[in-house]
């Protein structure tokens, strides 16, 4: 009779525990008697119990008597796997005829397809030097990929300038809307708060010298020259750069990019170019908007908390912020736009073919975008200082 392997009562505490006993009436063959419930929910004996028995008795084979088993599932299989594996390795014959019909067939099925030679992955400890070398090679390769991508993007841009680039204008419009108008709420909030924070921090120090009016200088210069561009850049890296990587990554997974390539349509022109153009066009406008919101934040603190006159604050800001600062800020925002879009599209195009690869691509796009922004800010700051701007 076939035991009820999946009996509904297997969770019931009243189920019989698994039992094992040995019969040595045949000196050459150890008969293993299994009884009770052999399920994953029951505590099963170790295969060593059988090993000890066979070592003590000196039998050259084992057989099973399982008529006493009331229910079984993979719990029995795992025990059998261990016992059979242990004895086959030591040249002891295993007679499976006494096993429950299904269990015997399953053990045979598991052994039916032998392990493919060389398929198993070898866990090897890599030396420090090996890892340094591998990382260096990977870095050089990745730099090469970045250069190739930038080169292809530049070629696509040149084609765009000469009117030969092929992409849908509606895509560009949609991307401009996504990068521009739809980003305004978050840019407003962050820029206003940054302006407020700068003003608060400055006010605490400047009030000690009776120089509250210079809060306008502090906020105005900081926002217009650097902070608006950097904050907008970081927002857009997290928002739009990540979205670009996820969109293109998903297209890689779904083989949509391959479909473009096989039809002779350049993904660089059709997918990457409108994204770079859209973000690069919108970044200076967002930066300008962030300038105004940041100054408004400072204005709220100056007028509301420091009792400065509204016109006085406005005039002080106007006098303190030279136009060159505005140009520097806008220039930075254009650079950031290019960097974020390139990072997002690059990681998306480099994406693997699995769902987790899309996640990795998105994370990498944000990290690359933010690092690029900080490095570019440092470089531009040094250059403007050297040039005395």
At residue 169's C-alpha, the angle toward residues 166 and 175, to 5°, is: 110
Give the separation between CA 66 and CA 311, rounded to whole angstroms: 96
Q: Which of 29, 30, 73, 295 binds another protein (CB under 8 A)?
A: 73
- Per residue, the 3-state secondary structure of 326-378, as one string, reads HHHHHHHHHHHHHHHHHHHHHHHHCCCCCHHHHHHHHHHHHHHHHHHHHHHHH
Q: How far is the CB of 102 from another protein (least distance, A)?
A: 5
77 touches another protein by CB under 8 A: yes
**CA 209 to centroid of chain Cα atoms:** 49
Q: Which of 14, 91, 114, 388 binds another protein (CB under 8 A)?
A: 114
Classified as helix, coil or strand, 295 is helix
| 3 backbone dihedrals φ, ψ, rounded to 5° | -65, 160
Q: How far is the CB of 255 from another protein (least distance, A)?
A: 13
CB 50 within 8 A of CB 21: no
354 touches another protein by CB under 8 A: yes
68 touches another protein by CB under 8 A: no
**CA 325 to centroid of chain Cα atoms:** 37
Nearest to 235 by CA among 184, 187, 166: 187
Between 50 and 203, whose beta carbon lies closer to another protein? 50
Q: Which of 1, 112, 311, 386 binds another protein (CB under 8 A)?
A: 112
Classified as helix, coil or strand, 69 is strand
Region of 21-29, 113-121, 219-227, 290-298 interacting with another protein (CB under 8 A): 113-121
Classified as helix, coil or strand, 244 is helix
Q: Which of 186, 265, 285, 357 binds another protein (CB under 8 A)?
A: 357
Nearest to 369 by CA among 303, 275, 305: 275
Q: How far is the CB of 248 from another protein (least distance, A)?
A: 18
Q: Which of 56, 355, 375, 383 binds another protein (CB under 8 A)?
A: 355
Q: Which residues in 21-40 contact another protein (CB under 8 A)? A: 40
2 touches another protein by CB under 8 A: yes
Contacts of 372 (CB under 8 A, 6+ apart): 336, 339, 340, 343
Q: Which of 121, 210, 264, 386 binds another protein (CB under 8 A)?
A: 121
Give the separation between CA 273 and CA 282, rounded to whole angstroms: 14
Q: Which of 1, 25, 91, 113 binds another protein (CB under 8 A)?
A: 113
Q: Which of 352, 378, 382, 383 binds another protein (CB under 8 A)?
A: 352
CB 92 within 8 A of CB 126: no
CB 337 within 8 A of CB 283: yes
Q: How far is the CB of 256 from another protein (least distance, A)?
A: 16
Q: How far is the CB of 61 from another protein (least distance, A)?
A: 23
131 touches another protein by CB under 8 A: no
Q: How far is the CB of 239 from another protein (least distance, A)?
A: 25
Between 319 and 355, whose beta carbon lies closer to another protein? 355
CB 199 within 8 A of CB 302: yes
Classified as helix, coil or strand, 22 is strand
106 touches another protein by CB under 8 A: yes
125 touches another protein by CB under 8 A: no
Interface residues with another protein (CB under 8 A) are 2, 5-6, 8, 40-41, 73-74, 77-78, 81-82, 102, 105-106, 109-116, 119-121, 123, 352-357
């Amino acid at each position: 009779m076939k035991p009820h392997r999946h009996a509904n009562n297997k969770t019931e505490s009243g189920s019989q525990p698994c039992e094992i006993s040995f019969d040595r009436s045949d000196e050459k063959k150890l008969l293993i008697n299994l009884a009770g419930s052999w399920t994953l929910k029951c505590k099963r004996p170790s295969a060593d119990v059988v090993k000890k028995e066979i070592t003590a008795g000196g039998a050259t084979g084992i057989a099973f008597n399982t008529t006493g088993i009331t229910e079984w599932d993979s719990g029995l299989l795992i025990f059998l796997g261990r016992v059979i594996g242990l004895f086959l390795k030591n040249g002891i014959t295993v007679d499976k005829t006494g096993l429950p019909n299904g269990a015997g067939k399953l053990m045979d099925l598991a052994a039916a397809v032998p392990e493919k030679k060389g398929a198993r992955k070898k866990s090897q400890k890599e030396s420090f030097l090996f890892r340094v070398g591998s990382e260096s090679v990977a870095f050089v390769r990745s730099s090469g990929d970045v250069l190739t991508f930038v080169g292809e993007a530049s070629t696509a841009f040149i084609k765009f300038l000469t009117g030969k680039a092929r992409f849908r204008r509606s895509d560009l419009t949609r991307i401009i809307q996504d990068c521009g108008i739809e980003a305004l709420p978050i840019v407003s909030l962050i820029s206003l708060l940054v302006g407020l924070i700068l003003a608060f921090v400055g006010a605490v120090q400047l009030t000690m010298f009776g120089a509250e009016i210079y809060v306008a200088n502090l906020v105005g210069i900081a926002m217009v020259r650097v902070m608006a561009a950097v904050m907008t850049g970081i927002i857009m890296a997290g928002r739009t750069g990540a979205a670009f990587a996820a969109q293109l990554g998903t297209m890689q997974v779904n083989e949509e990019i391959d479909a473009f390539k096989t039809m002779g349509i350049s993904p660089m022109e059709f997918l990457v170019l409108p994204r770079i153009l859209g973000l690069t066009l919108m970044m200076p406008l967002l930066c300008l908007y962030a300038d105004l919101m940041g100054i408004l934040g400072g204005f709220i603190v100056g007028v509301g908390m420091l009792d400065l006159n509204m016109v006085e604050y406005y005039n002080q800001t106007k006098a303190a912020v030279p136009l060159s600062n505005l140009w520097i800020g806008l220039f930075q925002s254009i650079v950031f736009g290019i960097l974020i879009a390139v990072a997002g599209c690059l990681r998306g195009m480099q994406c693997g073919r699995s769902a987790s690869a899309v996640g990795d691509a998105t994370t990498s796009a944000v990290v690359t975008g933010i690092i690029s922004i900080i490095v570019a800010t440092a470089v531009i700051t040094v250059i403007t200082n050297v040039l005395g701007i």
